Chains A and B, each alone.
Chain A
Amino acid sequence: MNEMQFLTWVRGPGLDIAIGIFLLGVLWRLIEIYTLGRKQDVAPGRQRDGASGLHTVFRRSVPPPGMVRKSPVTYIGGYVFHIGLAIIVFLFAPHIALIRDLTGLSWPGLPSQFVDLVTVVTMAAMVVVLFDRINKPAKRYLSTFQDWFTWTLTFLPVLTGWMAVQHLLLPYTTMLALHILSVELLLIFLPFTKLFHTFTVFGSRWYLGKINGHRGVPV
C-alpha cells in the first residue's frame, strides 16, 4: 500500500468504520445512561438560592474560590487545552469543510497561522498537565491505564495534524493519513472511555446539582 492508497483508505473505509462505531457507541451509551433513572427521593424538597441543576452546570465551569492558586496546573492547563481543542476542531478551515460535508452545517474559520499558534499552546498545556499527573503522588496514585490511554488518544491527533501542516518528519501525505487515522482511533474509543464526558458533562452536572438542590445544598 503506498501513501496515497493509505490516505484514500483512511478517508474512505476507515472513516466509515470509525464514524459507524462512534455513532453506535454514542447512541447506545446516551440512551442507556439517561434511561437509567433514580429511585424517587420522597423527602420534601428544600429551597435554597443557587441550588439547582442549572446553577451547577454553570458553577462547575468556574473554579471554586482559592483552587486556582492551590492547583494552578490542573485548572489553567485544563482550561487552555480544552478551549484550544475546541478552537482547533471547530475553527480550522479543513475541519469545517469536513463538518459541512457530513452535516451541511458551515461557519467561517480562523487564519491557519492563528490555529497553528493555538495548536502549539494546546500541546504545551497537555504536556504540562501530563507531567503534573506524573509528578504529583496523589494524581499518580489515582491514575489508571485509561487516564494515560485517553491522554494519548487526545494528544496524537493534535500532534500529527500539527506535524502534517508543518511538514515535519514524514511527507505531508503520510502525515495527513496518520492524522486522520489517529482521529479515527479517537472516535472509536470515545464512547467507551472517560472521553465520553464530551457528551455527558453537562448532563451529569445537572444531575448532581438537582439531587443536591433537592436537599438544599448548592454544589
Chain B
Amino acid sequence: MSDKNSGLIASLAHQGISRRTFMKYCATLASMMALPPSAGRAMAEAMAAARRPSVIWLPFQECTGCTESITRSHSPSLEGLIFDAISLDYQETLMAAAGHQAEEALEKAIEENKGKFVLIIDGSVATGLDGAYSCIAGRTNLELLKRVAPHAGAIVAMGSCAAFGGIPKANPNPTAAVAVTDIIKDKPVVNIPGCPPIPVVMTGVLAHYLTFGSLPELDKLGRPKAFYGETIHDRCYRRPFYDQGKFAKTFDDEGARKGWCLFELGCKGPVTYNACATVKWNGGTSWPVESGHGCLGCSEPDFWDGGGFYRALSMPADPLKMAATAAVVGTAAGVAATFANRAKKGAAKSAHETVTLADLEK
C-alpha cells in the first residue's frame, strides 16, 4: 500500500481512475444518497484531497461474503478501487502479513490513528463461553472489539451479522452471538445490513464521513436513511402487479413467466428496507426479484427466523399445532354442555310433573 500522505485521488490515479471519473462517481453517489448536487462536488473535493483514511477491518463470526461483495464485483468497481485506495491497515483476509506481524500492524494502526480511524466490523460477536467460540490470535472477538472500538473515529457494522447478529444468531444460537450494538453502547454505530450488503452503501458512508466529518442520517436501527429509507416492495418494478392482484403461484407458472408479483411465493419485500430495487447488483445488472426470486429480507433483523423464505407474509409462520386439539376440546365442551342442559331441562320438567290433584284443588 503506497505512501500514506498523498490524497485519495493520487492513489486512484495510480489505478487509472481519472479525476473526472471520480467526479462522476461522487455526483451519482450524492444523488443516490438524496443529497443536493452541491454535495457531490463537495464530496469529490474532500475525498480527493483526503489523506487516505486508515481503516481497521475486524472479521468476527462471518463468511467473508461481505468482503467479497465489495472487492470482487465482476468488473473492477469504483467501490472496490476506493476500498483499495484507503489505508487498510488490518484486514486478515486481504493483508499480506500474518501471525504476530498482523497483530503488530493492528496495534500500530490503533496508536497512530487514535480517534480517527474507521473501524469496520463484519460478523457477529460470540459471547457464549466468554466468547471462546471465535478467537483471533488468542483473543476472543469480544476482547478485540472492546480493545479497538474505544479508539475508533467511526464504527461501521458491515453486513447483517455485525448489524443484527445475522445467521450465527439464528435459532438456537449456539454461540450466543450478538450484534456489535449489543456490545458498543457509548458510540454511534452505522449498521449496513444485508447478506451481503450493497457495496455502494459503504462508500457512501465513507464519503459522508470524509466530506462532512460526520455520519449520515440514520434510522431507528442505525441504518443510513438514504439507502434504507424505503421498502423493497415500494420501489419494486413488479409493484403494479401486486396492486392489480396478479401473483405468481409457483416458480414456473404463467404468472412467473410474465413477471408477476412474488408476494405469494414468500417475497419479504414489504417488510424489508433496502436499496436493491433501485441500486441493483453487479453494476446494475439485476437484483433478486428481477431474476425471479422473492426478497429474503436479508437486511432485516432475524431474517433467518422469519417464518420461512417461501411463505407469504400473510401466511402463518409456523404450522398450527393447537387447532386439532382445540377442535376436539371445543366439541367435547359442547357435548358436555348439551348433557348438562338436557339434565337441567329434564329436572325442571320432572319438577313440574309432580303437580298433584290436591295441589290444584287448593
Interface residues of A (CB under 8 A from B): 2, 4-5, 7-8, 11-13, 15-17, 19-32, 35-37, 93-95, 97-98, 101-102, 108-113, 167, 172-173, 176
Contact = CB atoms under 8 A, between A and B. Distances in A.
Given A12-B307, A28-B333, 9 more contacts: A4-B300, A7-B313, A11-B316, A13-B318, A16-B320, A28-B331, A32-B338, A93-B245, A102-B320
A93 B302 CA distance: 26
B307 A20 contact: no
Contact of B338 (A2, A12, A26, A35): A35
Interface of B: 231, 234, 242-245, 247, 263-264, 270-271, 297, 300-303, 305-307, 311-318, 320-323, 325-327, 329-331, 333-335, 337-338, 341-342, 345
A92 to B, nearest CB: 9
A25 B327 CA distance: 9
8 contacts: A4-B297, A11-B317, A15-B320, A20-B320, A97-B263, A98-B314, A98-B315, A102-B320
Contacts, number: 139
Nearest to A13: B318
B293 to A, nearest CB: 18
Nearest to B337: A32
B247 A23 contact: no
B341 A32 contact: yes
A31 B302 contact: no
A28 B306 contact: no
Nearest to A93: B245
Contact of A111 (B244, B302, B312): B244
B322 A17 contact: yes
A17 B321 CA distance: 9
B338 A31 contact: yes
Summarize B's interface: helix, strand, loop or mixed.
helix
Query: From DSSP, what is the main secondary structure of chain A's interface residues?
Result: helix
Contacts of A112: 242-245
A37 to B, nearest CB: 8
A183 to B, nearest CB: 10
B331 A19 contact: no
B317 A19 contact: no
A24 B337 contact: no
Contacts of A22: 326
B341 A35 contact: yes
B327 A27 contact: yes
A4 B303 contact: yes
A8 B326 contact: no
Closest 8 CB pairs of A and B: A31-B334, A27-B330, A20-B322, A24-B330, A11-B317, A20-B326, A94-B314, A12-B317
A97 B264 contact: yes
A36 B234 CA distance: 53
Contacts of B335: 31
Contacts of A27: 327, 330-331, 333-334
B260 to A, nearest CB: 11
